[in-house]
């Protein structure tokens, strides 16, 4: 029994020594130490490969070139107005008669639409930047509402001095007036000329109307045909602004589209 226990203890001791040797642990027997190398341990002659440092010059980010601001169009003395967005910077609207709630101005793809829903509304639009001693104004205007209306061109306008105006009616008649404020601010109208013309197209169609204001005469045109030339009355100042107008009478709605207005030298 003793021999069996001794053999068993010896076997356990030898097994422990083998495990320790495989682990590379220093095993000491008395004063002598034995080092058992660990399998697959790295050696001193392993080459370290350093990551190369890049010597290339970093790519520069290009500097964006600033976009110059869009130049504001110059105000022109002679030009063709097509009434798109921003037209109101140079044109002023006022009513000679009627309520603001009965008139609207709207920019369409093909021009400026006057839409009047109330009776007896006289709506004016004046080009503010320049006064003209002599000038020609021509407008292409389409009737899109009832036939009872008038379409107007204005020259030599000033708020305190009055103006000249040339009116055509959808019925085929025309007239021309001067108007001058009195000391109380009331507008006094005087008839210059009137008549009828087959050149005026009736119905929902477009007419081209023209007014030439010279120092000594006024001339009226419709669709390229001269209507009449008359001497200039003495009641209105020699120079002033130009403009357009649309008026309603006893039938509504009135709708008139100005596709363009041309201001030129006569």
* CATH code at position 243: 2.60.120.560
Binned at pLDDT 50, 70 and 90, residue 105 comes out as very high
Least confident interval from 43-47, 72-76, 120-124, 240-244: 43-47
What mean pLDDT is predicted for residues 27-35?
44
Domain total in the chain:
2
Tokens standing for 237? 């100042």
User: Burial, 152: exposed, middle or buried (Cβ in 10 Å; 0-12, 13-18, 19+)?
Assistant: buried
Distance CA 56, CA 255 (A): 72
pLDDT on residue 104: 97
Q: Is residue 220 part of a domain?
A: yes
Q: Which residue has the higher pLDDT, 37 or 255?
A: 255
118 with 6, same domain: the answer is no
What is the pLDDT, as a whole number, of residue 153? 98
* Residue 69 resides in a domain: no
Q: Measured between alpha carbons, how far is 248 from 146 in angstroms, rounded to an integer? A: 9
38 pLDDT higher than 60 = no
Say yes or no: 171 and 230 in one domain: yes
In a domain, 70, yes or no: no
What is the pLDDT at residue 200? 97
Domain coverage including residue 129: 79-264
Residue 1 pLDDT greater than 90, yes or no: no
Same domain, residue pair 104 and 230: yes
More confident residue, 57 or 91: 91
**Among 3-17, 82-96, 108-122, 232-246, the least confident range:** 3-17
Q: Which residues contact 138 (CB under 8 A, 6 or more apart)?
A: 153, 208, 209, 210, 211, 221, 261, 262, 264
Q: 230 and 175, same structural domain?
A: yes
For the segment 3-22, the average pLDDT, to the nearest whole number, is 48
Distances (CA, A) of 14 to 31, 89, 108, 151, 222: 20, 109, 107, 125, 130
Whether 182 and 249 share a structural domain: yes
pLDDT attached to residue 160: 87
Judgement on whether residues 18 and 94 belong to the same structural domain of the protein: no
pLDDT-derived band at 143, boundaries 50, 70, 90: very high
Using CB atoms within 10 Å of the CB of residue 183, give its burial: 0 to 12 exposed, 13 to 18 middle, 19+ buried. Answer: exposed
- The answer to whether residue 60 is domain-embedded is no
The C-alpha angle 138, 125, 258, rounded to 5 degrees, equals 50
CA 108 – CA 259 distance, rounded (Å):
9
- Per-state percent for the chain, helix, strand, coil, to nearest 5: 10, 45, 40
237's CB contacts (< 8 A; 6+ apart) are: 156, 158, 161, 162
Q: Are residues 150 and 30 in the same domain?
A: no
Among residues 233, 236, 242, which one has the least CA distance to residue 265?
242
């Amino acid at each position: 029994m003793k021999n069996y226990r001794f053999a068993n203890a010896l076997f356990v001791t030898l097994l422990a020594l083998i495990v320790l040797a495989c682990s590379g642990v220093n095993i000491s027997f008395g004063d002598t130490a034995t080092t058992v190398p660990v399998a697959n341990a790295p050696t001193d002659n392993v080459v370290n490969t350093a990551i190369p440092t890049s010597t290339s010059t970093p790519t520069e980010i290009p500097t964006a070139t600033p976009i110059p601001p869009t130049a504001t169009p110059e105000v022109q003395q002679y030009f063709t107005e097509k009434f798109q967005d921003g037209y109101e910077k140079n044109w002023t609207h006022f009513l000679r008669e009627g309520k603001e709630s009965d008139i609207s101005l709207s920019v369409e793809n093909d021009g400026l639409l006057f839409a009047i829903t109330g009776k007896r509304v006289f709506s004016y639009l004046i080009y503010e930047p320049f006064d003209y001693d002599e000038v020609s104004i021509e407008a292409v205007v389409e009737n899109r509402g009832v036939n009872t209306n008038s379409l107007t061109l204005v020259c030599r306008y000033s708020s305190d001095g009055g103006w000249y105006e040339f009116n055509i009616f959808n019925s085929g008649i025309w007239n021309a007036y001067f108007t001058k404020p009195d000391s109380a601010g009331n507008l006094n109208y005087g008839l210059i000329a009137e008549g009828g013309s087959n050149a005026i197209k009736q119905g929902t169609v477009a007419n081209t109307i023209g007014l030439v204001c010279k120092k000594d005469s006024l001339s009226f045109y419709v669709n390229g045909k001269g209507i009449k030339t008359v001497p200039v009355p003495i009641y209105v100042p020699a120079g002033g602004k130009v403009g357009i107008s649309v008026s309603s009478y006893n039938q509504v709605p009135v709708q008139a589209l100005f596709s363009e207005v041309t201001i030129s030298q006569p």
